[in-house]
Structure 1
Amino acid sequence: MQKDQLFTRRRMLLASVFALGAAGTAGIVMADGDEDAARIAAPVAGAPALQALKPSAYRLQPLTGYGPPRAEPRKLKVRQEPILQISGRGRHMMLTFDDGPDPRYTPHILDTLAEYGVRAMFFVCGEMAVANKELLARMADEGHVVGNHTYTHPLLTTLNRREIRSEMERTSDVIEDAYGERPQWFRAPYGAWNRAAFQLGADMGMEPMAWTVDTTDWETPGTGTIVDRVESGAAPGVVVLSHDAGGDRSQSVHAIREYLPHLLDSGYHLTVPRRRPS
Structure 2
Amino acid sequence: MKKDQMSPGRRSVLRIAACLGAAATAGLLFNDREATPGRAAVPGDGAAPGEGAVPGAAGGPRAAAGPPAKASAYRLQPMTAATPERFRRALPPVRRRPFDRLSGVGRTMVLTFDDGPDRRYTPGILSTLRRYKVPAIFFVCGEMATDNRDLLRQMADQGHVVGNHSWSHPLVTKLPPSGIRDELGRTSEVIERTLGAPPLWYRAPYGAWNKHSFEIGAELGMEPLAWTLDTLDWTEPGVEPIVGRVMEGAAPGVVVLSHDAGGDRSQSVAALRRYLPQLLDAGYRFTVPRR
Aligned counterpart, 1:90? 106
CA distance in 2, matches of 1:173, 1:245: 21
**Equivalent residues of 1:31, 1:88 under 8 A apart:** no
Q: Which secondary structure does the structure 2 equivalent of 1:30 belong to?
A: coil
**Equivalent residues of 1:99, 1:244 under 8 A apart:** yes
Is 1:107 the counterpart of 2:86? The answer is no
Task: State the one-letter code of the partner of 2:91.
Answer: K
Aligned counterpart, 1:48? none
- Cα deviations across residues 31-50 of structure 1 (Å, max 9, x unaligned)? 1159xxxxx7359xxxxxxx
RMSD across aligned positions (CA): 2.1
Aligned counterpart, 2:155? 139
**Equivalent residues of 2:59, 2:135 under 8 A apart:** no
**Equivalent residues of 2:55, 2:105 under 8 A apart:** no
Report the more deviating stretch, 178-187 or 248-257.
178-187
Task: State the one-letter code of the partner of 1:120.
Answer: A
The size of the alignment, in residue pairs, is 225
Is 1:21 the counterpart of 2:57? The answer is no
Task: State the one-letter code of the partner of 1:128.
Answer: M
1:76 Cα deviation (Å)?
1.3
1:20 Cα deviation (Å)?
4.1
List aligned pairs for 1:162-201, cutoff 5 A: 162-201=178-217
- Cα deviations across residues 11-34 of structure 1 (Å, max 9, x unaligned)? xxxxxxx95434132564531159
Task: State the one-letter code of the partner of 1:25.
Answer: N
- Runs (4 or more) in structure 1 with deviation over 4 Å come to 26-29
CA distance in 1, matches of 2:266, 2:196: 29
CA distance in 2, matches of 1:220, 1:167: 27
Unpaired runs of at least 5, structure 2: 1-23, 33-51, 61-75, 80-89
Task: State the one-letter code of the partner of 2:128.
Answer: T
Q: TM-score, normalization: structure 1?
A: 0.77
Unpaired runs of at least 5, structure 1: 1-17, 35-39, 44-73
CA distance in 2, matches of 1:125, 1:223: 25
Aligned counterpart, 1:250? 266
CA distance in 2, matches of 1:216, 1:237: 19
Aligned counterpart, 2:244? 228
Q: Which secondary structure does the structure 1 equivalent of 2:206 belong to?
A: helix
Identity, in percent, stands at: 60
Aligned counterpart, 2:58? 32
2:229 to 206, 213, 226: 213
CA distance in 2, matches of 1:199, 1:120: 26
Task: State the one-letter code of the partner of 1:97.
Answer: F
- Cα deviations across residues 223-271 of structure 1 (Å, max 9, x unaligned)? 0000001110000000000000001000000000000000000000111
CA distance in 1, matches of 2:104, 2:55: 10
**Equivalent residues of 1:29, 1:274 under 8 A apart:** no
**Equivalent residues of 1:140, 1:180 under 8 A apart:** no
